[in-house]
Chains A and B, each alone.
Chain A
Amino acid sequence: MRIEDVVCPFCGCLCDDLVVSVEGTKVLSVENGCTLATEKFTGDHRLAHPIRRTGGAWEKTTYDDAIRETAEILLDAERPLLYGWSGTFVEAQTLGVHMAELLGAVIDNTSTVCHGPSIMAIQEVGHPGCTLGQVKNRADVIVYWGANPIEAHPRHMSRYTTFTDGFFVKSAFRERKVIVVDIRETDSSEIADEFVKVTPGGDYAVLTALRMIVRGKGDLVPATVSGVTREQLFRVAEICLSARFGAIFFGLGLTMSRGKSKNIRNAIELTEELNRHTKFTISPMRGHWNVYGSNEVFTWITGYPYAVDFSRGIAFYNPGETTSVDLLRRKECDACLVVASDPGAHFPRACAEHLASIPTVQIDPHVNATTHLSRIQIPVAVTGIDAEGTAYRMDGVPIRTRKLFSTGYPDDVAVLGRVYSLVKEAKG
């Protein structure tokens, strides 16, 4: 069977034009998707049933027992953490937030290790953003800053920027200019009209210098700023100023390097400065599939996009204090529920070690690095393959994903819903 308009469940681009051929519960081929998508659909090593660690070995257990024990662990904890959420759909994320409130837990999503600093900067100075459709149809200058879309978001350029024509950009090849800013050459920098190579940790100063030039204070800019020559800085500023519509996309190279949220703030303030002369927008390249959705859900329920601490009964948010990496590094948590992400692979070693030393439960379809740190793992259906639900694209557009076929697995809502009921019963 050929299924059209399938939404890819892998990265934040949420490409919705895939064509997938299936036979029963097997994916035969994926058209239109990038290699990451094909791998996601076909390379599927699912855990067959819930497992539980006793002594040093895994044993098979039932959904009933695993769910009951999960609820008990969470109810027992004084500082439980509910982490992950970026690989599942918003209906499951909603349940997670309500459960965190009942438990007095901290709930956090993967922004904590990717675009958390971007959100902090947006909270300080706002977000002049737009949807990807606007970029596709209007932008004649594209800036990728600290991002390598060819590897991390393979179809970003072909669907929205460099390689696609738009309504007002009749020939992308001739009309779109691409600027790539990074600390090293990448596949993406190779196709750039202007590649700006910054010394590591030097982005903040380069952004400051560009702001100065756009503001007419270029006379103060020294001969080089963080490895970038004065001439190139003026050239880049000129390209931006002569744009009809410019779009800046930034990645982890900017959010996770020295200065963190202040880098993003500086980039947003450059965008604002450019908007005095022409139209410019700025957007984060969100990586994990529905991480944007988790920010939306957390915000519409609690007022805060990630790292929400309910231990006092009301929502409190303070990255650096209530973020998972900080909580785990300080060994604060005494239980953890991981949903739809893999902190075992992405967190610093000390954090992973702490996860292994406390009762950690993972709800995830696959065996991954976090499995090795967990006491219990409950397999679920994969959203976008054998479960459907709503997810948000990196530009904040919600998209309903499709279910290609049914397997016997319950989805995240089914499992979390049962844990939630047990918690609710105990809390009265």
Chain B
Amino acid sequence: MNDIKIYVQEPSGDKTPVDAPTDMGLSLMEVLKASGYPIAATCGGMALCATCHIEVLSDHELPPPSDDEGYMLDSLPAVTDNSRLSCQVRLTPELDELVVKLGAGD
């Protein structure tokens, strides 16, 4: 089994589990989108549109953002230190039990 569990914190505060495979080279954006979350992913995962913006709520250590991702995050209005572009987050076994919240969607 190469699946991990990701939790999405809904606006109500409830956490919805999402099963995510780690052996298919998928990004978090792809899994969230496939699970029906309203992510436009206008740029298809190139760190160019920021519609896949999320906030990491658990204290997992993620690889730091690339310059492209950092630039995009820098130019957004509503970001925190835990903001990421989910298309740039590769799913790996280390991310099991990750908790995220969807961003403003812009």
Check if A and B associate: no
Chain B contact residues, CB within 8 Å of chain A: none
